Chain A
């Protein structure tokens, strides 16, 4: 049983795609309130890692414990963990047939059994927080990418999750829209949310992260505070990666 201030504990975890060893012996403890940035070259398994935390991907060995609940094949456990972890995707994945407000209230009404008025009040509160309350009655297709991603963050927050997972939230955005999404993420971090972010935004990592994790070939190669990580990287692969993303 992990300590009560542990949000996620991943122990000796392995994952395969067929015969391809996608994640190798991952060990990772995340404290409540901790902000973690996961980075690494494409194909290093960083997205797969955070998708394992809410079981969008299966894992094949080891264990994952989220907020004291063991993530196994028990559907109740999976539901429990998904209720408490919000996720933001690279491609937003808003429901295109529903308005912004409906996107935000659907899960609270169905899963949390909230009353519609209550759910709508909460949704408007979070839409204010991400600075687009005036778009509530539009459809996702009528919004810009940056706006859609901010709605996606609000939608996840409406479930009042303990942990937020971000899977490359700015990678599909036009450059001028990246900062509006990062601003929302920074303010979320300031509120004390537990966050795990897969991202290439090194400025964001330096500003917000408590710990930066570098992955390559399905392994955690190096981890440390942003200062250690950026100013004094230990591993050769980390140095190569950093020179590539920071070099220009």
Chain B
């Protein structure tokens, strides 16, 4: 008798994967029930029993639901920190500009050694002029008053823009054919990597003004960004170096044999392939960098995390810390999740071109 092949149905899958034995069935029912209960409680807390409007604040606490009134009342503080209230539209547009630039850099048309830097420098300039003011009749607002999500994005974008080119330079220097350059660079990278980020930020914010000449000191925020970028560059340089070393030696040899100069070999053959190899750890590094921007709070800046703390810091809202933290967590989640999804998309895309 000929056997016929039945395509397994969804029901077959469920049966074989979750209810194959008596133990399987028991476990599936138990954990299924627990999962449902957790989801139901969350839904109750976050939506069904929750209070949403700031005007309904008195209702909070009656149904044991979330009190989102605190977000409704304090979202501007969380997003914009101490930025002057009537100027907060600037902060909002500035954030939108960086998000737009990030989204645009996902478009392959911009993947080019000229277009990408131009795009980022333009976006960053727009952000800076809007935030700092002093031009085009905009009121000047010093970095001490920046805060919230805008500050987080500013620190992240600035660190990436300074740190990325720096990391490429570091990686290439460490691979220099001159041993004294390669060794010195290696020593610098290993030294900075062995220091905690916190201590580097402290050093740049507090100690550096004592040793630098006056004209070089600049604002505390910029010093911290430079220190953070240096830290970022040292880690990223090693990631890029790993990507370079994964290349077969034949790639550079073929480019040499074609008469290509060092810079042509680096920019057309070595780095494009190295970045491909290094993509997963690079995205990882960006995710870590985004989250660790919160450390600027220790030298007195109000990033989105710190302004979240401030949002429930008054007696009026002191009970609502869970709601505020959930909101801040959501903000981080949206950014970081988008970042890692984009990384996954890039990997799929690049996989087509390099088998």
Contacts and interface: CB of A to CB of B under 8 A. Distances in A.
A87 B353 contact: no
Contact of B260 (A86, A111, A152, A165): A111
Helix, strand, loop or mixed for chain B's interface?
Answer: helix
Nearest to B251: A93
Helix, strand, loop or mixed for chain A's interface?
Answer: mixed
Interface in A59-94: 79, 82-83, 85-87, 89, 91, 93-94
Interface residues of A, number: 27
Given A89-B250, A91-B248, A97-B273, A107 B353 contact: no
A93 B248 CA distance: 9
A142 B351 CA distance: 12
Contact of A97 (B253, B256, B258, B276): B276
Contacts of A93: 248, 250-251, 253-254
B249 to A, nearest CB: 9
B272 interface: yes
A142 B251 CA distance: 18
Given A56-B253, A93-B250, A93-B253, A155 B258 contact: yes
B259 interface: yes
Nearest to B351: A141
A1 interface: no
> How large, as a class, is the contact surface on chain B?
20 to 34
B250 A111 contact: no
Given A91-B250, A96-B354, A159 B259 contact: yes
Contacts of A152: 254
B257 interface: yes
A155 B257 CA distance: 11
Interface in B240-282: 248, 250-251, 253-261, 264, 268-269, 272-273, 276
Nearest to A83: B259
A229 to B, nearest CB: 28
Nearest to B264: A110
25 contacts: A54-B257, A79-B259, A82-B258, A83-B259, A85-B257, A86-B258, A87-B254, A89-B253, A89-B254, A91-B250, A93-B250, A95-B273, A97-B273, A97-B350, A106-B258, A107-B260, A110-B260, A110-B264, A111-B260, A111-B261, A141-B354, A141-B355, A142-B355, A152-B254, A159-B258
Given A139-B353, A159-B258, 11 more contacts: A82-B256, A82-B258, A83-B259, A87-B254, A93-B248, A97-B273, A110-B260, A111-B260, A152-B254, A155-B258, A159-B259
